[in-house]
Amino acid sequence: MEKEPSFSDSSLLQVVNLLSDLVVFKKNDFHDFLKKLIKIVITIIPVDSCFIYFYDRDNKKLILIGSKKQHDEDIGNITLSEGEGITGWTALHKETVVLEKEAYRDSRFKFFSQLPEDKYEGFLSVPIMNEYGVIGVINLQSKKPYKFTKTQIKAVESIVKIIASAFAKILLERKVDFLQNKLEERQLVEKAKGVVMKVKNMSEDEAYKFIRNEAMVKRRSMKEISEAILLLWK
């Protein structure tokens, strides 16, 4: 008979409190939301690794946006096409995948050299869906073979259903903020470019290259370099 997990009162209370925070999404910024979501699922299924992917419906891509461990350089840079890897299969078929051991031997598996967790044994992949379809995927991985119980799987599936609307809302807000920042950056670069053209007697193309090269050399964003130029020379 399958052994079901038991939660202590403190663990159950922690899950409930974190879940209530996630549903009231206005309390959370993007990173805080993901951190709490990961904490919830790891409390229910105490494995070694947790990854959260956002499904970009327009481009049919899954993008890594959150991790239990630090993978800052890979966040936003690791992507999967729809149907690619176990994660892509989960998104395409809208079904949970449960692999208790040797997940790396599964025919759907895709290895990423940047992620040592891809050598792990146990693998649980759950789609995050709202009324419009898949909006993300959450993966749980274990270094050793892991017996995911029915209760654990159902608990995670239920939680992602509860937070799906908040997940979609906070991702939309993140996208809007990103686009707004890009617009502000373009406007600042245009202003700074005009100043550089005047002060250094450069062409528009030369001024743009000057700002870009300064950003690369100083390891700053073009927005930051543009702000500095406007402060110094305007």
pLDDT: is 229 or 7 the higher one?
229
Report the pLDDT value the prediction gives residue 99, as an integer from 0 to 100.
Answer: 96
Instruction: Delineate the domains of the chain, giving CATH numbers in brackets.
Output: 9-164 (3.30.450.40), 178-233 (1.10.10.10)
- Crossing angle of helices 9-23 and 150-199, in 10° steps, is 40
Q: Which residues pair with 53 in a beta bridge?
A: 64, 137
What's at 152, amino acid-wise?
A: Q
Torsion angle, CA of 44/46/47/50, rounded to 10 degrees? 50
26, pLDDT greater than 60: no
DSSP state of 94: T
Looking at residue 1, its pLDDT comes to: 38
The per-residue pLDDT for range 174-199, each reduced to its tens digit, is 665 555 666 678 888 889 999 999 99
For the chain, what is the radius of gyration of the CA atoms?
A: 22
Both structure tokens of 63 = 């993008």
Q: Is the pLDDT of residue 29 over 80?
A: no
Cβ atoms of 226 and 191 within 8 Å: the answer is yes
- Say how far apart CA 68 and CA 169 lie, in whole Å: 22
Question: Which tens digit of pLDDT belongs to each residue from 151-163?
Answer: 999 999 999 998 8
Amino acid (1-letter code) at residue 104: Y
| Range picked from 21-35, 58-72, 107-121, 151-165 for highest mean pLDDT | 151-165
